[in-house]
Chains A and B, each alone.
Chain A
Amino acid sequence: MTLASQNARQGALPATPASNSLLKAGVIVLLLGVGFLVLPPLLYLAGSALRPGTLGALSGTTILTLAGKSLSLAALATLWAMILALPLAWLVVRTDLPFRDFCRWLAVIPLAIPSYIGALIYIALLGPVGMVNSWLGDLTGVPQQWVNIYGYWGGVFVLGLFTYPYIFLLACGALETTNPAIEETARSLGEGPLGVFRRVTLPMLRPSILAGGLLAFLYALSDFGSLSLLRVHVFTTEIYHQLNTRFDQSAAAMLSFVLVLITFAVLVGQRVLLGRRSYVTVTGTARVARPVRLGRWRWLAYVLAGGVLGLSVFIPLTVLLFQAGSASQFADVFLEQWGFFKNSLWTAGVAATIAMLLGLLIAYAALRAKGSVGVGLSGTVQIGYAIPGTVLGLSLILLYNTYLPWVYGTVGVLILAYLIRFLTQSVQGVEAALGGINPHLEEAARSLAASPGAVLRRVLAPLVRPTLFAVWALVFISAMKELDATLLLRPAGFDTLPVRVYIHTVEAEYAKAAALSLLLIAFTALPWLVMTRLREKKIV
Chain B
Amino acid sequence: MRSGLTIIFMRVAASVLVLAGIAGVGAVVQAEAASDRLVVYSGRKEKAIKPVVEAFTKQTGIQVDLKVGKTSGLANEIRMERANPRGDLFIATEGGIMEILAGEGLLDPHLSPATKAVPGDFKSATGTWTGISGRARIILYNKNLVAEKDAPKSVFELTDPKWKGKLAIAGTRERTSLAWVSTLVAVKGEAFARDYIKGLHANGLKILSDNTEVWQGVGRGEFAVGLTNSPNYYLAKKMGLPVGVVYPDQGPEGFGTPISANAAAIIKGAKNPDAARKFIDFLLSPEGQRILVTADYEMTVLPDGDAGEALSAKSIKQPAVTEQRLAGLAEPTLKLLAALSPDW
Residue B23 lies at the interface, judged by CB distance under 8 Å to chain A: yes
Q: A397-B80, A452-B3 are contacts. A492–B172 as well, Cβ < 8 Å? A: no
Residue B277 lies at the interface, judged by CB distance under 8 Å to chain A: no
Chosen A-B contacts, 29 in total, with CB atoms closer than 8 Å, are A16-B1, A16-B3, A57-B335, A231-B209, A233-B342, A241-B171, A244-B70, A244-B72, A245-B171, A246-B334, A247-B75, A247-B76, A247-B79, A350-B19, A364-B5, A397-B77, A398-B80, A401-B81, A415-B27, A456-B7, A456-B8, A459-B4, A460-B4, A490-B67, A491-B86, A492-B39, A492-B87, A494-B30, A508-B239
Closest to B28 in A: A410
Q: A22-B6, A442-B5, A446-B4 are contacts. A357–B12 as well, Cβ < 8 Å? A: yes
Measured in the bound complex, the distance between the Cα atoms of B75 and A395 in whole Å is 14
Measured in the bound complex, the distance between the Cα atoms of B16 and A357 in whole Å is 7
Residue A267 lies at the interface, judged by CB distance under 8 Å to chain B: no
Measured in the bound complex, the distance between the Cα atoms of B70 and A503 in whole Å is 10
Task: Determine the interface band of chain B, counting residues with CB < 8 A from chain A.
Answer: 35 or more
B221 in contact with A23 (CB, 8 Å):
no
Interface SS of chain B: helix, strand, loop or mixed? helix
Measured in the bound complex, the distance between the Cα atoms of B9 and A13 in whole Å is 15
Instruction: Specify which of A19, A244, A406, A509 is in contact with B173 (CB 8 Å cutoff).
Output: A244
The stretch from B40-48, B183-191, B247-255, B256-264 touching chain A is B40-48
Residue B220 lies at the interface, judged by CB distance under 8 Å to chain A: yes
B residues near A453, Cβ cutoff 8 Å: 4, 7
Closest to A396 in B: B80
Residue B147 lies at the interface, judged by CB distance under 8 Å to chain A: no
* Chain A residue total in the interface (Cβ 8 A): 73
Excluding A245-B172, A350-B23, A410-B30, 10 further A-B contacts by CB distance (< 8 Å) are A57-B335, A57-B339, A228-B209, A243-B72, A364-B9, A401-B84, A412-B28, A491-B86, A503-B46, A507-B46
Closest to B331 in A: A246
Q: Which residues of A contact B (CB under 8 A)?
A: 13, 15-16, 18-19, 22-23, 26, 29, 57, 62, 127-129, 228-229, 231, 233, 238, 240-241, 243-247, 249, 350, 353-354, 357-358, 360-361, 364, 368, 390, 394, 397-398, 401-402, 405-412, 415, 442, 446, 452-456, 459-460, 487-488, 490-494, 503, 505-509
User: How far in angstroms is the closest Cβ of chain B from A348?
Assistant: 12
A13 in contact with B67 (CB, 8 Å):
no
User: How far in angstroms is the closest Cβ of chain A from B271?
Assistant: 10
User: How far in angstroms is the closest Cβ of chain A from B73?
Assistant: 6
Closest to A248 in B: B331
A residues near B76, Cβ cutoff 8 Å: 243-244, 247, 249, 394
Interface SS of chain A: helix, strand, loop or mixed? helix
Closest to A464 in B: B8
Instruction: Specify which of B3, B30, B73, B178 is in contact with A19 (CB 8 Å cutoff).
Output: B3
A446 in contact with B220 (CB, 8 Å):
no
B residues near A459, Cβ cutoff 8 Å: 4
A360 in contact with B222 (CB, 8 Å):
no
A residues near B86, Cβ cutoff 8 Å: 401, 408-409, 491-492
Closest to B65 in A: A493
B residues near A411, Cβ cutoff 8 Å: 23, 26-27, 30-31
Instruction: Specify which of B4, B12, B37 is in contact with A455 (CB 8 Å cutoff).
Output: B4
Q: A23-B9, A401-B84 are contacts. A493–B37 as well, Cβ < 8 Å? A: yes
User: How far in angstroms is the closest Cβ of chain B from A133?
Assistant: 10
